[in-house]
């Protein structure tokens, strides 16, 4: 497959790993990959297993499913159980636990919950069912927010009034800042989120080198992309440089996608604050529909409980999301919490650090189990 296979070339990977080993010799460096897509690639392709011990990867908060707090899941389920509603959601959200079960269980109890691939599919369901109310559970960073925005513009243009959006879109820069302010974290650089950056570009990350003196390299999602971005980070450190660089030049332009940004500015406004699972409330970190789109805002059209629910005590998703502990260091990892019966969101999505580790890493990373039992 073009744009995929050539970035999985084992010979090139071997050379990149040798470079990484040489550049990192005598050091111990921690790089955080911000994006859940990267976490998925790292585990799927066993990248941690081929890296030298001098380079450690910390898995960041960039999985949009993992950061949705329980209260918002409960709100989604309440919407799904509202009579007359068809509730549409991406597949990843279906098994995310709320305080009283998940969307699949709500479906089993009789709610009309439907999985969609695209927000446009949800709009189509609304058009085809004019006597029903169709709600779309919108989640995702700036990667996904433009798609919901385009869908809302289409709903307005076609005057589809039985469609609404339960908006949980979040933005990447505020949690990055929250992590950088976290006192118990030591990092040497960031692997920047590739897909978010196709939309926002590379400029919003300039505060990372400017204010926190850390390098950031925006990276693509194939194994060679990740390895190359690590080489670029190490080269910056070797040269005493500290800047924002772009490894994913085939998809990311410095200025981002201006059309997407323009549409987002029209459809959304920034929420004063939003709760993140494990990270707590972060100000100006999420999007809501602007006044012009209030007729399509599910939170205004229906009554949602809006009750804040504390994260389960046993679950350490927060520490995992901040990179303070590794997934296997959580007390319930792989025992009470598995992808089949997740307690925390990091175990639900395939992009969550815990699920990725459970599915791909658990039986190959020998060090994992001794660390946990030590």
- Contacting positions for other proteins (CB under 8 A): 1-4, 6-7, 9-12, 14-16, 18-19, 35-37, 40, 62-65, 90-92, 117-121, 139-141, 143-144, 146-147, 150, 195, 198-199, 220-221, 224-225, 228, 231, 247, 249-253, 257-260, 263, 349, 351
What is the nearest approach in angstroms of other proteins to the Cβ of residue 154? 9
CB of 112 to other proteins, least distance (A): 21
How far apart, in whole angstroms, are the C-alpha atoms of residue 79 and residue 114? 13
Q: At its nearest, how many Å lie between other proteins and the CB of residue 249? A: 4
The residue among 40 and 288 lying less far from other proteins, judged by its C-beta, is 40
Of 214 and 219, nearer to other proteins (C-beta) is 219
Closest CA to 315 of 348, 345, 281: 345
- Residue closer to other proteins by CB (options 202, 328) is 202
User: Which string of b and e fits 4-34 if b means at least 16 CB within 10 Å?
Assistant: eeebeeeeebeebbebbbebbeeeebebbbb
CA 118 to CA 110: how far, in whole Å?
A: 23
Give the shortest CB-156-to-other proteins separation in angstroms.
14
Q: At 244, is the secondary structure helix, strand, or coil?
A: strand
Q: Which residue in 350, 310, 348, 353 sits closest to 330, CA to CA?
A: 353
Q: How far apart are CA 366 and CA 169, in angstroms?
A: 37
CB of 235 to other proteins, least distance (A): 10
Name every residue whose Cβ is closer than 8 Å to that of residue 11 and which is 6 or more positions away in sequence: none
Residue 154, helix vs strand vs coil? helix
Burial label for 123, CB within 10 Å (0-12, 13-18, 19+), is: buried
Rounded least distance, CB 175 to other proteins, Å: 14
- Smallest distance from other proteins to CB 152, Å: 13
* Cβ closest to other proteins, residue 109 vs residue 250: 250
Q: Which CB atom, from 12 or from 332, has the smaller least distance to other proteins?
A: 12
Q: Give the H/E segment covering residue 139.
A: strand 133-140
* 245: Cβ contacts below 8 Å, ≥ 6 apart: 215, 216, 217, 218, 232, 236
> Rounded to whole angstroms, how far apart are CA atoms 254 and 94?
35
Give, as one character, the DSSP assignment of residue 311: P
C-beta of 320: minimal distance to other proteins in Å? 17
């Amino acid at each position: 497959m073009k744009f995929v296979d050539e970035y999985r070339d084992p010979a090139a990977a071997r050379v990149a790993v040798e470079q990484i080993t040489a550049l990192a010799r005598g050091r111990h460096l921690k790089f955080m990959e911000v994006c859940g897509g990267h976490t998925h690639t790292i585990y799927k392709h066993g990248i941690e297993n081929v890296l030298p011990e001098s380079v450690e990867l910390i898995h960041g908060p960039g999985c949009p499913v993992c950061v949705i707090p329980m209260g918002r899941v409960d709100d989604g389920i309440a919407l799904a159980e509202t009579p007359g509603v068809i509730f549409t959601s991406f597949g990843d959200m279906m098994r995310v636990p709320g305080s009283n079960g998940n969307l699949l269980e709500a479906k089993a109890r009789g709610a009309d919950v439907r999985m969609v691939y695209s927000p446009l599919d949800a709009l189509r369901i609304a058009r085809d069912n004019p006597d029903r109310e169709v709600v779309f559970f919108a989640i995702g960073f700036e990667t996904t927010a433009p798609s919901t925005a385009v869908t809302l513009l289409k709903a307005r243009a076609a005057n589809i009034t039985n469609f609404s959006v339960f908006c949980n879109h979040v933005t990447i820069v505020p949690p990055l800042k929250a992590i950088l302010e976290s006192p118990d974290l030591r990092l040497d650089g960031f692997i920047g989120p590739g897909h978010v950056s196709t939309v926002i570009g590379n400029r919003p990350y300039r505060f990372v080198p400017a204010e926190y003196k850390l390098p950031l390299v925006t990276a693509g999602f194939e194994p060679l992309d990740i390895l190359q971005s690590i080489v670029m980070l190490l080269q910056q450190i070797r040269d005493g440089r500290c800047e924002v660089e772009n490894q994913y030049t085939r998809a990311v332009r410095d200025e981002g996608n201006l059309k997407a940004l323009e549409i987002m500015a029209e459809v959304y406004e920034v929420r004063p604050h939003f709760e993140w699972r494990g990270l707590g409330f972060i100000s100006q970190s999420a999007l809501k529909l602007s006044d012009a789109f209030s007729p399509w805002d599910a939170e205004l059209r229906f009554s949602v409980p809006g009750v804040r629910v504390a994260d389960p005590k046993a679950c350490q998703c927060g520490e995992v999301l901040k990179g303070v502990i590794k997934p296997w260091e959580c007390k319930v990892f792989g025992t009470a919490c598995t992808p089949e019966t997740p307690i925390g969101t990091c175990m639900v999505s395939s992009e969550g650090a815990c699920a990725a580790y459970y599915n791909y890493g658990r039986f190959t990373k020998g060090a994992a189990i001794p660390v946990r039992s030590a």
